[in-house]
Amino acid sequence: MAPHCAILRGTCAARRPPLSRTDDYADTNGDSYGYDFPWLILCSLFVLISNALSILLTGDEPKLVVGSEVAPISIPTGDEFAPTINFDDASGAFEPEPTNDVVASPALALVSVVWHSKKEELVLKLSELANERYLKASQLQAEMARLEVIRIQATLIEPRILRKRALKDALNAKDVKMAEYIARITISSLLPWSLDGPST
């Protein structure tokens, strides 16, 4: 123990007052006993401070011994205490082991079947829509080509040309009637009887 600690403890023991009788600790027979508690607390503080000073001045650290065969563990009391934890050795314990086993549940199988059926139905509908669209596009293209031909023909035929054609057709019909009439007259003049009957 350090000399100053002995001095403090000796001073505490020398200055301890004798037992004092107080009314607070009087018993039924009129006797009283006990120490002055504030003075005891002060002495205890002196002892604690002396122990702390001895540790700081001498550099002694308290040792914690666990069992008889275990080496003592030093517990630092200063600000240099920095616990370090190494997780390298324990990291493998938390890694899941890879597995190649595939567990097929009935729910997953049902979902897979429904998914494939819906997919096939969707592909079929898309193909039908594509064919219908292609057919309508072909019909529309053919109708546009026909209308284009009609437009070109209507542009080439003018009203004047139509009138000339109608007049020509009428003249041709008149000429045909005239030719028929002339032919009948010629035939009647050549025959000895008329077309109405033989002459008398």
Q: What is the mean pLDDT of each run of 10 residues along the chain (200 residues)?
A: 50 49 44 57 82 72 48 52 53 54 66 82 89 90 88 72 80 82 75 51
* DSSP state at residue 94: G
**pLDDT at residue 155 in the model:** 67
**pLDDT at residue 87 in the model:** 54
Q: Based on the fold, state whether residues 125 and 162 are members of the same structural domain.
A: no
**pLDDT at residue 20 in the model:** 46
Asked whether the beta carbons of 92 and 70 are under 8 A apart, the reply is: no
Q: Choose one of 39, 62, 85: the last residue of a domain.
A: 62
**pLDDT at residue 30 in the model:** 43
Q: Could you tell me which residues are beta bridge partners of residue 73?
A: 64
In the chain, the number of structural domains is 3
**pLDDT at residue 67 in the model:** 46
Q: Based on the fold, state whether residues 38 and 27 are members of the same structural domain.
A: yes
Kindly give the pairing relationship between strand 73-74 and strand 63-64. antiparallel
φ, ψ of residue 18 in degrees (nearest 5): -65, 170
Domain that holds residue 40: 1-62
Q: Could you tell me which residues are beta bridge partners of residue 98?
A: none
Q: What is the rounded CA–CA span in Å between residue 136 and residue 144?
A: 12
Q: How many CB atoms lie within 10 A of CB 50?
A: 19
Task: Say what the pTM is.
Answer: 0.25
